Structure 1
């Protein structure tokens, strides 16, 4: 797959500093000399081609409410069912399977600690499974942007 100059510029320009405004794609388009529709179409195509896996901001979660890493020990034969139920709970993201007694791990967010605890309690009650709750003790910032040497790519 060949990416044209506009695709490369879009990727390079917005791995970081995605505009946080009412019309982010319009703002990106203005900067890149494209239309808003072109930006949306290009991002969609890049996702369909699996060049990009996600388009969206990464927030400093401690500034945006409360969150917690949690895990449940789901019976193997119920993994898909339990995962689907977890995914329907408000504020859940990053739900993934692990090879461990606690085999489904997810992050839950909420506007505040009380709401977070209520959501976790409700989900644990619905699942009827033990839940491991792992509050963050220390935060680490992982920069997910990459400097791409376009000339070195085939």
Structure 2
């Protein structure tokens, strides 16, 4: 991989705060282990990790897209990847779509209930950036999104 390609990947991972995704994984994996009363199959573990990565990637990229115009006007946030021109809107949209596809594929692989409930997770993800604009209750919606990880993992194991 060339230096330029590595820089692009690094920029995209920084924009979606991939390190925070890694930090959030133990919460989902804890729900998984508790539901399985041990360690489930490798396929289940990979499916849950894929769902988490997909959901967080879509959520963070969508959040950055939804706020890009506002961020550009705010000196504190004007240096974020999209307003600063480091990441293009098309690239951010590709991350949103890719994240949703990964989440949906993982939900389909895990079990029918995960697939049926996945639109609820996506609704929370796509609604959150807009709630920041009109209510302090947005923090509860964000908390719901974060709390859904262990519950989703539980459902992935138990069906």
Length-normalised TM-score, structure 2? 0.23
Identify which of structures 1 and 2 has the higher relative contact order when contacts are C-alpha pairs closer than 8 Å and 6+ apart: 2
Structure with the largest fraction of helix:
2
**Bigger strand share:** 1
> Which has more radius of gyration?
1
